[in-house]
Amino acid sequence: MPRTAAFFDLDKTIVAKSSTLAFSPSLYRGGLINRRDVLRSAYGQLVYRLGGADHQQMLKVREYLSLMVAGWDVQTVREIVADTLQHVVQPLVYAEAVELIDEHHKAGRDVIIVSTAGADVVEPIGELLGADRVIATQLGVEHGKYTGEITFYAYGDDKAHAMRELADEQGYDLEHSYAYSDSITDAPMLEVVGHSFAVNPDRALRRLATVCHWPILSWTQATALRRRTAFGVRWRSLGAAAVAGGAAAAGLVWVASKRRIQR
């Protein structure tokens, strides 16, 4: 039997909204963003939920992301995420995703979360879900602070490339592996594997899924999530020390400002 894996996008696939934006109130209370940024993030979340993020928006996210987080203290971000993870993420997780993750594990497949969000957000969520690995955006760190340099942006073709690299390293047979996402920007990720699924897809992905005969899944049920570590979580984020403010949604175009964040 070939060794296989199941790759899950995070935002609007496993969780109902942007994982990063969900932490905005906690980042505000921690002094990393100001009140105006919180309001902008709420507006950005609304736009994201209604329309999704297209390619140009995601490129803007990358530009603004580096401006927003430069100078943030890494340990402070990690503590904020750890302290608020259960409260912030638990009500947002789709029960259907949790059940499917369990099914893949029972079938002997590794579960990998592949997200444009930063590893300092994605890794704790992955641990909560019992995932085996994550692929996530990473920023440079010097002297315990984010420099603002994006050393790996887990988006588009780069997601697919990282999946291939991980498959080579771990011996996954991608032709017999699975992938799940909601966004047309993840078309390269879905095309890498033999079993692709569109979850709550945006219009463009729905059209592509129809053409490619990919199953379309509708997930709506929230679940009360407990920490799930029974499967021996082994973190291998493609790049250490990634930004918790890494964006998986166009909403951070509004969250970030061109000036330095008040600290």
Asked if 153 and 136 touch (Cβ cutoff 8 Å), the reply is: no
pLDDT at position 13 is 93
Residue at 130 is within a domain: yes
Q: Would strands 133-142 and 110-118 be described as parallel, antiparallel, or unpaired?
A: parallel
Polymer length of the chain: 263
Q: What's the token pair of residue 261?
A: 């964040």
Give the domain CATH number at 87: 3.40.50.1000
DSSP 127-170: HHHT-SEEEEEEEEEETTEEEEEEEE---THHHHHHHHHHHHHH
pLDDT at position 231 is 37
Active site annotation includes 102:
no
Residues 6+ apart with CB under 8 A from 66: 139, 148, 149, 150
pLDDT at position 119 is 82
Residue at 121 is within a domain: yes
Mean pLDDT of each 10-residue bin along the chain, 263 residues long: 92 77 54 47 41 54 62 79 71 89 97 89 87 91 85 92 97 98 95 97 96 96 61 38 33 30 34
The crossing angle, in degrees rounded to 10, of helices 119-129 and 74-89 is 40
d(CA 106, CA 100): 10
Q: 38-56: buried (b, 16+ CB within 10 Å) or exposed (e) per residue?
A: bebbeebbebbeeebbeee
Residue at 262 is within a domain: no
pLDDT at position 40 is 45
Residue 67 structural domain: 5-255
pLDDT at position 59 is 57
Active-site option among 9, 182, 186, 202: 9
Residue at 260 is within a domain: no
pLDDT at position 226 is 60
pLDDT at position 140 is 85
d(CA 259, CA 152): 23
Asked if 202 and 182 touch (Cβ cutoff 8 Å), the reply is: yes
Active site annotation includes 9:
yes
DSSP 242: -
Domain count, the chain: 1
